[in-house]
A and B are shown apart, each in its own frame.
Chain A
């Protein structure tokens, strides 16, 4: 009889337990999620994973996320998953790679945050002096560059996908393991968000305050969405408006130089 292996990945204070018979998958997950593994956490959600053979892997095929009868159904070339969010359990069928789980975790966190007050954002983020700074913008705006220029006393939360969650103390940014193939996972740390920056390039470092409408526009262009569910879209827009009313936001034009960090905060 095959034994079950457990891997519990905790991101943003939400622990997701992954159960599988595949020791090979466990090794991939442990490598992928390293510092975000928390075996002692009580799982908020659990998934049973079955590894299937590479039939005709088509990882480029479009992702679909649908809700029917209270269950979420996720499908892409390299995985399919069913998730009963009320029962907090789901099943995943996937080929032997770490990317399917990475996508599924992003989707699950996005769906949970959209109803609880939070979002995943195309942004880098980092902590300095106990305050988190979030840097967003389109590809090429400098999200990775600005955190690569960070001084030694800065903790990088992510250089790609930021995790922001509403708490009784305000909005908090958490580190994420969600990284591209060429980037590293962030640190599993968190801090209250001090400011949001919309990045652009310039010869000299300068920043300018964004009004709340521009902040909402910036957020909505960069928040990760996976659902057409009207109620959840409403929730995300509510969160963006609330965030814009509580957290200062700026445009930040910078030259690729460490001195930009002297102008923050």
Chain B
């Protein structure tokens, strides 16, 4: 089944000096993403799958696809555990 990566809806996020600052409205916890994390976050637009996000990273950075896929998978899993990203079934159509 095709899946896509979705950002949480109770979050405020701003890019400041190349870093993404994410604030949870749920519990006021704060997450700080480095440059690569920020690129993954921005690519996770609710339509792209983990594989498609890895493709975006490959296009932006000098990284092979297997490494990019592993990095994106690990990143998405860690942010999903924190409740700020989730992996959902792709919308119909």
Q: A residues within 8 Å of B by Cβ?
A: 211-213, 216-217, 220-221, 225, 227-230, 233-234, 236-238, 241, 244
Contacts and interface: CB of A to CB of B under 8 A. Distances in A.
Contacts of B52: none
B93 interface: no
Contact of B10 (A213, A230, A236): A230
Contact of A228 (B18, B26, B32): B26
B25 interface: yes
A241 B30 CA distance: 14
Given A211-B17, A237-B12, A237-B14, 5 more contacts: A213-B17, A213-B18, A220-B21, A220-B23, A234-B12
B16 interface: yes
> Per DSSP, are chain A's interface residues mostly helix, strand or loop, or mixed?
helix
A217 B20 CA distance: 10
Interface string B14-46: 101111010101111010100000000000000
6 A-B pairs closest in CB distance: A213-B17, A233-B25, A237-B12, A234-B12, A213-B19, A230-B25
Interface of B: 9-14, 16-19, 21, 23, 25-28, 30, 32
A148 to B, nearest CB: 30
A217 B21 contact: yes
A221 B12 contact: no
Contacts of B11: 230
Nearest to A234: B12
A225 B30 CA distance: 12
B16 A212 contact: yes
B25 A213 contact: no
Nearest to A238: B14
Contact of A217 (B27, B28, B32): B32
Nearest to A212: B17
A244 B16 contact: yes
Contacts of B12: 230, 233-234, 236-237
Nearest to B13: A237
26 contacts: A211-B17, A212-B16, A213-B16, A213-B17, A213-B18, A213-B19, A216-B16, A217-B30, A217-B32, A220-B23, A221-B30, A225-B28, A228-B10, A228-B25, A228-B26, A230-B9, A230-B11, A233-B12, A233-B23, A233-B25, A233-B28, A236-B23, A237-B14, A237-B23, A241-B16, A244-B16
A159 B11 CA distance: 31
Contacts of A228: 10, 25-28
A216 B15 CA distance: 10
A53 B70 CA distance: 62
A217 B18 CA distance: 13
Contacts of B28: 225, 228, 233
